[in-house]
Structure 1
Amino acid sequence: MKVVQVAQWAMAPQETTLFSAPIATVLAAVISLITAVTVAYATYRLTGKKEERSVSKDLHLKRLNEFYAPIKLLLDQDKVLIEHLREGKPEGWHLLDNVATVISDDTDNQIASQIIAINKKIALILEKSAGLSLRQIPQSYSLFLGHYYMLERAFTGKPFARNNRFEYFPRQFEEDINSDYAALYKLISKEK
């Protein structure tokens, strides 16, 4: 009989659980919750970083395409024209100092008109999109605008007060545009 009881006991279902059913259910729910939160957080971080990189790249491309590249192209055209206008003229010759002479010469007047038209395009880009500057807006942007408005008024015969800070083309403006363009181009190349 003892052998039969032992056999029955061995065949009977045994409760070998460490926790009761309600505790096990709560524990399983907590583990599932922790897993879900961990997966959600990891997904959020990975997606967030991708989105940040995408937004950053889009902003850099916008800066390049809508601000720096157009100004750089226009400055390159301006440089070719001013070099052509200065051919055969003495060292240190400046357009603003020679308005009457330039206006009286058809060829020089046409070149000067092209320079002013290019400067106008640059001024419009600056006024519309200076917020796309890669850094805090440099003072050279304002100096360029002052130069352009003085030059434009001189060639249209409108009165203007000479201001030695605005008289001549600010070379720093060209340097700022070129250096920021190069830095931005380098950033974009790294983001690819």
Structure 2
Amino acid sequence: MLDNLLATSAATPLAESSSTVGLDVGAIWALLLAPAVIAAVISGLITLLAPYISRKLRRDEATEAAARELNVRALNEFYSPIRELLNEVKVLRDEINRRVTVANELAWHTLDHVPEIKNDKVSWALFEAMVATNERIKQLLDEKSGLARGAVPASGRWRVHQSLLKGALANPEEVPRTDLSYFPTEFETQINKNFDVLAGQFGAHSAPKANNNDKKRET
């Protein structure tokens, strides 16, 4: 009997201790999950992350602003001037063509008719102006090509064409006959295409669509 009482007495504190521990853990979890505690934790995380988020947003805005500025410069300092100068060359070339007309000629190319152009004082002056205008295009390619926002692979062929035009102006009696003598229309196409891509971002006017008459563009 005494042994049973002692055993019961010894077991009772353990049960109470276990029950007490269980209540304490539950109370701790209840405290941790309280709305006020959760709100405080979230507020602390926001406070810690706010500077990082702010810096990232500023970097993104700065990157976007820099890219936009480069695109604006590309339009204003590279593509637009080249397009305008190409149009000027076309006007000069068409007037030379009108003045120095060869009957039944399907494709008229300036370098095929240097002697005839030389014999007409006005046409020769127009030819000089055309070469000078091309030199301004070449200067833009030399100085501003870093602003190009897309590839202009035909620029190399155009440079050769301009070199031949310049050589014909200096020595009209010796003009080489080669396919490189003719204006590479793909050069203008690439300039207009890249211009249109950038212009679309700013709502600027796109280049006019090419038509069959553009074949006369070849010089």
TM-score range for the pair, normalised by the shorter chain length: 0.7 to 0.9
- Quote how far apart the aligned CAs of 1:36 are: 3.7
5+ long unaligned stretches in structure 2: 1-27, 29-40, 205-219
Q: What TM-score do you get using the length of structure 1 for normalisation?
A: 0.75
Q: Which residue of 2 aligns with 1:173?
A: 187
Query: How many residue pairs align between the two structures?
Result: 161
Aligned Cα root-mean-square deviation (Å): 2.5
Residues 36 and 162 of structure 1, relative CA distance in 2, 3 Å threshold: farther
Q: Residue 93 of structure 2 aligns with which residue?
A: 82
- Give the TM-score of the pair, scaled to structure 2: 0.66
Structure 1 runs of 4+ aligned residues shifted over 6 Å read: 30-33, 158-161
Structure 2 residue matching 1:139: 3-state secondary structure: coil
Given residue 141 of structure 2, which amino acid in structure 1 is its aligned partner? Answer: L
Counterpart position of 1:42: 53
Larger relative contact order, structure 1 or 2 (CA cutoff 8 Å, min sep 6): 1
Q: Deviations over 1:91-128 (max 9, x none)?
A: 31211111121112101101111110110100111111
Residue identity in the other structure for 1:105? D
Superposition deviation, residue 131 in structure 1: 2.1
Q: Give 1:34 shift.
A: 4.1
Match of 2:197, as an amino acid? Answer: A
Tell me how far apart the structure 2 counterparts of residues 98 and 117 of structure 1 sit (CA, whole Å).
18
Q: 1:189–1:46: structure 2 CA closer, same or farther, 3 Å change rule?
A: farther
Q: 1:92 to 1:161 in 2, by over 3 A?
A: closer
Residue identity over aligned pairs, in percent, reads 25
Counterpart Cα distance in 2 of 1:75 and 1:158: 23
The amino acid across from 1:183 in the alignment is V
Alpha-carbon separation, structure 2, partners of 1:134 and 1:80: 27
Residue 32 of structure 1 and its aligned partner are, at CA, apart by: 8.1
